[in-house]
């Protein structure tokens, strides 16, 4: 092979690398690192290892989507957080709060408490135009190494209902781009630098990247967070059915509360989280907290429709509407209530 032919073959690769470098430089300031505090019970049956702790920190990623300081990220990162601090590329640290969170789709919207100067905003792309085989890249903070880029392709696409998993009703993009702990909530970009998905989880036997990463499409994220405008409950818990009778729940199923995030609706209502570590059938959880048996007049059942109906009813509430929740606490059923306010 002559030197001339070799140079001609290298030109496309060099051009592509140079192009990606320019796009990365333009969008990198829109990506943030998110530090959270909050006691989250560790469940070793969780198939998504992106939310586990390392170096005693809970770190994830996010992307700025508006001039007024709104950031898209992953629900599992911030949903039960007590405090949230956002770190920008220039090192600025700004507190934030949750505006809305959709656990079943693993997307959330947080709001900066202060707007930094020269805030750069990412462009949300049309994920319907993303095709299998398209090149994509992810920016995040894997294992705390912030603003790290990894590149891959769209390996597959899944419409709601295609997968029989906890996130089976979400629209997902699968990628082989490297995704690890700390990438949660970070943006997936197309070659034009548009956000086409929010990183959610991986499937892994080792706990690290194995080329099976999943992200929620930008169109679904926009619909759930910007159009439907769900509220933030701040509840972290598990559905119990087999344990319901053992715990003297006066109905076939209930929601065993694990953690309640500070300043959330659940916190204002007065719901109590668990405090006694327990393990049953290799599942770790906390006992001693409230067991929710009814919310907004809807009884807790062990099917997905229950929470779908509750989420829908919550999203329709107005600021002065009352939220009524019945819980089992120390063997007695009590009623708790509060009113939704403008903040949420």
Query: What are the distances in angstroms from CA 280 to CA 44, 244, 259, 283, 292?
Result: 11, 14, 18, 5, 20
Pairing state between β 123-124 and 107-112: unpaired
Cα–Cα distance measured from residue 58 to residue 42, given in angstroms and rounded to the nearest whole number: 13
Beta carbons of 59 and 213 less than 8 angstroms apart = no
Catalytic residue numbers, as ranges = 76, 106, 184
Quote the tokens at residue 342: 């403008």
Residues 32-72 have pLDDT tens digits of 999 998 755 444 334 343 443 333 358 999 999 999 999 99
Beta carbons of 160 and 148 less than 8 angstroms apart = no
Quote the tokens at residue 18: 């140079």
- Region of poorest pLDDT, from 142-151, 157-166, 240-249: 157-166
Average pLDDT of the chain is: 85
Cα–Cα distance measured from residue 256 to residue 290, given in angstroms and rounded to the nearest whole number: 6
Predicted pLDDT of residue 167: 67
> What percent of the chain is modeled with pLDDT above 90?
58
Cα–Cα distance measured from residue 173 to residue 170, given in angstroms and rounded to the nearest whole number: 10
Q: Residue 4: pLDDT above 70?
A: no
Quote the tokens at residue 305: 């429709």
Quote the tokens at residue 91: 């090192």
Beta carbons of 64 and 71 less than 8 angstroms apart = yes
Report the DSSP beta bridge partners of residue 173: 157, 215
- Strand (E) or helix (H) holding 7: helix 3-27
pTM of the model: 0.82
Residues 107-155 have pLDDT tens digits of 999 999 999 999 999 999 999 999 999 999 999 999 999 999 999 999 9
- CA geometry: angle 341, 343, 344, nearest 5 deg: 80
- Strand (E) or helix (H) holding 15: helix 3-27
| 176 phi, psi to nearest 5 deg | -100, 5
Which residue ranges form the domains of the chain, and what is each CATH number? 1-228 (2.40.10.120), 235-339 (2.30.42.10)
Residues 130-143 have pLDDT tens digits of 999 999 999 999 99
- Region of poorest pLDDT, from 18-32, 39-53, 158-172: 39-53
- Region of poorest pLDDT, from 12-16, 204-208, 223-227, 235-239: 12-16
Longest dimension (CA), the chain: 85
């Amino acid at each position: 092979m002559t030197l001339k032919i070799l140079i001609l073959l290298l030109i496309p690769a060099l051009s592509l690398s140079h192009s990606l470098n320019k796009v990365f430089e333009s969008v990198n300031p829109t990506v943030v690192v998110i530090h959270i505090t909050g006691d989250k019970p560790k469940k070793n049956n969780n198939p998504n290892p992106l939310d586990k702790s390392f170096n005693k920190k809970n770190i994830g990623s996010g992307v700025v989507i508006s001039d007024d300081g709104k950031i898209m990220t992953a629900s599992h990162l911030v949903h039960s957080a007590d405090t949230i601090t956002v770190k920008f590329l220039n090192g600025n640290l700004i507190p934030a709060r949750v505006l809305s969170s959709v656990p079943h789709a693993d997307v959330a919207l947080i709001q900066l408490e202060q707007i930094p100067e020269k805030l750069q905003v990412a462009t949300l792309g049309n994920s319907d135009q993303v095709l299998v085989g398209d090149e994509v890249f992810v920016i995040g903070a894997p294992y705390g190494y912030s603003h790290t880029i990894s590149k891959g392709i769209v390996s597959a696409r899944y419409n709601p209902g295609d997968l029989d998993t906890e996130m089976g009703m979400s629209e997902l993009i699968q990628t082989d781009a490297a995704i690890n702990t700390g990438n949660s909530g970070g943006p997936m970009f197309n070659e034009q630098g548009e956000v086409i998905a929010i990183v959610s989880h991986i499937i892994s036997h080792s706990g690290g990247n194995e080329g099976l990463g999943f992200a929620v499409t930008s169109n679904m994220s926009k619909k759930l967070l910007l159009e439907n405008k769900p509220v933030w409950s701040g509840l972290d818990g598990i559905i119990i059915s087999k344990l319901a009778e053992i715990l003297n729940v006066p109905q076939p199923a209930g929601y065993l509360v694990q953690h309640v995030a500070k300043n959330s609706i659940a916190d204002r209502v007065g719901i109590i989280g668990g405090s006694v570590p327990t393990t049953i059938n290799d599942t770790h959880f906390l006992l001693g907290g409230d067991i929710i048996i009814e919310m907004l007049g809807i009884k807790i059942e062990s099917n997905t429709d229950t929470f779908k109906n509750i989420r829908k009813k919550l999203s329709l509430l107005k600021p002065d509407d009352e939220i009524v929740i019945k819980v089992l606490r120390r063997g007695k059923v009590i009623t708790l209530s509060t009113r939704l306010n403008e903040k949420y």
